[in-house]
Amino acid sequence: MCNFLEVKNLFFSYGRGNVVNDVSLHVTPGHVVSLLGPNGCGKTTLIKMVLGILKPRSGGISASGLDVTRAGHRERARHFSYVPQLHHANVGFPVMEMVLMGRIAYEGCFKPYSDADREAAEKALRQMNLLDLAERSFAELSGGQRQMVLIARSLAQQAPLCIMDEPENGLDFGNQVKLFRLLRDLSAGGMSFLVTTHHPEHALWTNDQVVMLNREGRVLVAGNAGECVNRKNLLGLYDVDVAIADVGGQHCCMPLMEAAGGAGFN
Amino acid sequence: MKKRNWIIIGLLLATLGAIAVSSLLAGRYSAPLSEQLKILLQLPVPDLTPERREILEYLVFTLRLPRIIAALLVGFALAMAGSTFQSMFRNPLVSPELLGVMAGSALGVVAGVIFEVPAVVVQLLAFAFGLLAIVTTLLIAKLYRGGDKLLILVMAGIICTAIFTSLGFLIAYSADPERMGVGLEYWLDGGLGLANRSNILASLPLFLLGAAGMAVSAKAMNVMSFGEEEAAALGLNPIHWRILAIVSATLVSAVSVTMAGMVAWIGLIAPHFGRLLTGPDTRTLLPVSGLIGASILLLADSASRSLFSSTLPMSLTISVIGIPMFMILLYRSKFGGLHV
């Protein structure tokens, strides 16, 4: 079976020096891949290339066999969806209308939304338990609700892979946990996720795969979160000492506040 | 569309119709509305001498009706263009006027009039210079990275407007004054005095073309209100749609200028008013703001013709109506919360 996303030897530079340096990664069906890395490691650039907003200097990106760098936006949108960072855009569209926008890739912009579109949107809202909010204005929702609506929109897009850019950003602790439970449940149903995050802890929550990008934009390590999220790798990645503990069978990652090293922000 | 929105559109249509009919009465020559309406509908009017009938026909068909139709077209077009620009730039502070498009088009028109080119070429010049102006504004805005993007775009538009207006003055003053015909101030202040059957018919196809371009972009504009990145990820090509929407909005703005000069305020306030009534959905906003724009312009033109014995410049009456309206809208939306 084809990988939902396959990134091969990707390079990118905004001028001098590569921001993304020979990055390869893949997302297999039914898995959550967490993308970890310090600020400025090229995570966002990488995502932008996958979304077709930036052209890679060299390297290939394919999704379920589709050459992403050559595909049109509509075709690409049927292969994967995107959940942006929680935005505070005061866009006053009703929630239902927001979720319907996930269907643009199917009927295009010239036609009005079809019955199939409405059914898919409703299904996504039901799946996310948001039907009660369908008529509410997006601008009036709380951060957590907004993020859920954006995820519902990506579900309505019915793409096998969903790319999320720091989805936990701006969510309270409870909503963060709920979010990662949701990812776990959806991936059990066969969907895949590529999730950028600043929290190694979250990669452990998913108990799935992780890719770590270092400051030079290279893959430091990739593999099982349980194995890769360890003291040595995190020290290399963030210049911070951590302890990994096992609590009731679940790995936890704790920064050591009193440890030496890491003076000054990076 | 929701039932509520249909009702709002119905009410706006009724209001516009009432304003249109009553504006037949605006002007120095007074004739009863009933007589004018009968003439308009080609109904027989009893006790009417042939001479008076001729005068009334001239009044209705040559003087007042073209002006009303022109006001409807220009008001509708500028409001649609304003809605489109505001959606496209995700900026509640822009309009065809503030982006410099109208100043650019006015330069095209003034140049065309001075060099006595055919009407089609004047339209073409207005369109070309309108496009040039918006490109100029965007390039100026690009010079300033960082800072408040919304304000920088507006500032760039002000600079661009100043450039094109100065060029207009330069051309006008270097040319033979007799060639200007109505004079530079007609184009700079805006007015409907030049509206007639032939220029309405010549503009109509272009208005319709631009309106169609904006209408088909409406769904895409909704998606693009979340930014290019999200729009691309949802499956549309943001650059294609942006070009289509902006070119369409520039086209109708340019044609408006060839007909009525630089009509101020409408393109800025009508979209805000529309959004307050029916929300940000561009598919509803385009017709709703259009009806509002047409109503405001018609009202302003009627006022400028009937308040004093001489016709006031339209920029004056529009400002009297537009500025308080805009201030109330700003206050109500507390500025920062202005939705696009």
Residue to mutate among A53, A101, A151, with most B CBs inside 10 A, is A101
* Measured distance CA(A74)–CA(A71) in Å, rounded: 8
**d(C-alpha A196, C-alpha A168), whole Å:** 9
At B12, the amino acid letter reads L
Residue where the block lists tokens 């930036």: A54
Compute the distance between CA of residue B104 and CA of residue A193 in angstroms, rounded to an integer: 49
Residue from B131, B9, B111, B76 nearest B296 by CA: B76
B232 touches chain A (CB under 8 A): yes
Q: What is the pLDDT of residue B105?
A: 96
pLDDT level of residue B1 (50, 70, 90 thresholds):
low
Of residues A183, A176, A173, A120, the one with CA closest to residue A151 = A183
Q: What confidence category does residue B180 fall into, taking pLDDT thresholds of 50, 70 and 90?
A: low
Q: Answer whether B127's CB lies under 8 Å from B146's CB.
A: no
CB within 8 Å of A233: residues ≥ 6 apart: A212, A220, A221
Q: Find the CB nearest A105 among B226, B229, B235.
A: B235
Three-class secondary structure of residue A66 per DSSP: strand
Structure tokens at A257: 């506040």
Confidence at residue B177, expressed as pLDDT on a 0 to 100 scale: 66
Q: Per-residue pLDDT tens for B117-136? A: 898 999 999 999 999 999 99
Write down the mean pLDDT value for chain B.
Answer: 89
pLDDT score at B336: 42
If you average pLDDT over residues B285-289, what whole number do you get? 97
Sign of the torsion formed by the C-alpha atoms of A155, A161, A166 and A168: positive
pLDDT of residue A263: 59
Checking if the pLDDT of B15 tops 80, the result is yes
Contact B217, B248 (CB under 8 A): yes
Per the CB < 8 Å rule, is B219 touching A89?
Answer: no
Q: How confident is the model at residue B311 (pLDDT cuts 50, 70, 90)?
A: confident
**What residues contact A70, with CB distance under 8 A and at least 6 apart?**
none
The dihedrals phi and psi of B90, each to the nearest 5 degrees, come to 45, 50
Interface contact flag, A157 B236, Cβ < 8 Å: no
Which residues of chain B have a CB within 8 Å of the CB of A110? 216, 219
User: What is this structure's pTM?
Assistant: 0.88
**Do the bridges between strand A250-255 and strand A242-247 make them parallel or antiparallel, or are there none, so unpaired?**
antiparallel
From B323's Cα to the closest Cα of chain A, the distance in A is 25
- In sequence order, what are the residues at sequence separation of 6 or more whose Cβ sits closer than 8 angstroms to the Cβ of residue B122? B108, B109, B112, B113, B258
Query: Where does the pLDDT of residue B333 fall: very low under 50, low under 70, confident under 90, or very high at 90 and above?
Result: low
- Tell me, yes or no, if B216 comes closer than 8 A to chain A by beta carbon: yes
Strands A80-83 and A161-165: parallel
Single-letter amino acid code for the residue at B13: L
The tens-digit pLDDT sequence of chain A (266 residues) is 578 898 999 999 887 778 888 999 999 999 999 999 998 888 889 998 998 888 898 888 988 888 888 888 999 999 999 998 877 666 789 999 999 999 999 988 888 889 999 999 999 999 888 999 999 999 888 888 898 999 999 999 999 999 999 988 878 888 889 889 999 999 999 999 999 999 999 999 988 999 999 988 899 999 998 889 988 999 888 888 888 888 888 888 888 887 665 556 66
Pick the residue of A82, A109, A166, A196 with the most B CBs within 10 A to test the interface with B by mutation. A109
Confidence class for position B337, pLDDT limits 50, 70, 90 = very low
Q: pLDDT tens for residues B55-77?
A: 888 888 888 899 999 999 999 99
Q: Where are the beta strands (DSSP E) in A3-128?
A: 5-12, 20-27, 32-36, 58-63, 66-67, 80-83
Asked if the C-beta of B280 comes within 8 angstroms of chain A's C-beta atoms, the answer is: yes
Q: What are phi and psi of B122, to 5 degrees?
A: -60, -45
Phi, psi angle pair for B173, to nearest 5°? -80, -20
> At CB < 8 Å, which residues of chain A contact B?
48, 51-53, 72-74, 76-78, 81-82, 84, 87, 89-94, 97, 101-102, 104-105, 108-110, 112, 137, 139, 153, 157, 163
Confidence of residue B43 (pLDDT cuts 50, 70, 90): confident
Cα separations (Å) of B131 from A205, B41, B258, B298? 53, 41, 14, 27
CB-count exposure of residue A91 (10 Å: 0-12, 13-18, 19+): buried
d(CA A114, CA A106) in angstroms, rounded, equals 9
Q: Is A32 exposed, middle or buried (0-12, 13-18, 19+ CB in 10 A)?
A: buried
What is the Cα–Cα distance from B278 to B115, expressed in whole angstroms? 45
Structure tokens at A19: 């921001």
Residue B11 to residue B26: CA distance in whole angstroms: 23
